[in-house]
Amino acid sequence: MRSSIIGICLLAGGCASNDCAMNAFELGQRDGMLGANQTERHLSRCGSSFDAGRYTEGFRDSFSRRPAPQGD
C-alpha cells in the first residue's frame, strides 16, 4: 500500500520537490524499487545538475533486487 501511495505521488510530481537536491544514485534506487524509471522527468526538472549516469546505476541496482509482483 505504501509503495502505491509513493508511486502515485511521484508520478503526479507533487511530492518530489527535493529530487534535484538528492543524490542521483539514491534517487535512482528509490525509483528502481518502485519500478518507475523517471530519468527524463528528472533531467527536465533539474537540468545539467542531474547525473543521469549515477541515477541509472542506482535504478538498475534497486530494480534488480525488488520483490516480484504477486498475482491475484
> Closest Cα to residue 52, out of 67, 64, 41?
41
pLDDT at residue 11 is higher than 70: no
Which residue has 545539467 as its cell numbers? 48
pLDDT at residue 6 is higher than 90: no
Confidence class of residue 66 from pLDDT cuts 50, 70 and 90?
A: confident
User: Where in the chain are the domains?
Assistant: 2-65
pLDDT tens track for 23-64: 999 999 999 999 999 999 999 999 989 999 999 999 999 999
pLDDT given at position 14: 45
- The CA distances from residue 3 to 36, 44, 46, 49, 50, in Å, are 11, 24, 24, 27, 24
